[in-house]
Amino acid sequence: MKTVYYVAFIFIIATTVPNFKLVLKNVNKI
């Protein structure tokens, strides 16, 4: 079960980081 939580954790980070970078780019444009 630990591996399932580990994979889910990586998946959440993998989907959150790109969105966070896009937000930073938008903030820098302003």
Chain centroid offset of residue 28 CA: 19
Model pLDDT, residue 8? 95
Q: What is the pLDDT tens value at each position of the chain, 30 positions in all?
A: 799 999 999 999 999 999 999 988 988 876
Q: Quick check: helix, strand or coil at residue 30? A: coil
Model pLDDT, residue 9? 96
Model pLDDT, residue 4? 94
- Going from the C-alpha of 14 to that of each of 2, 6, 28, the distances in angstroms are 18, 12, 22
Model pLDDT, residue 30? 66
Token couple for 13: 């980070």
Model pLDDT, residue 29? 79
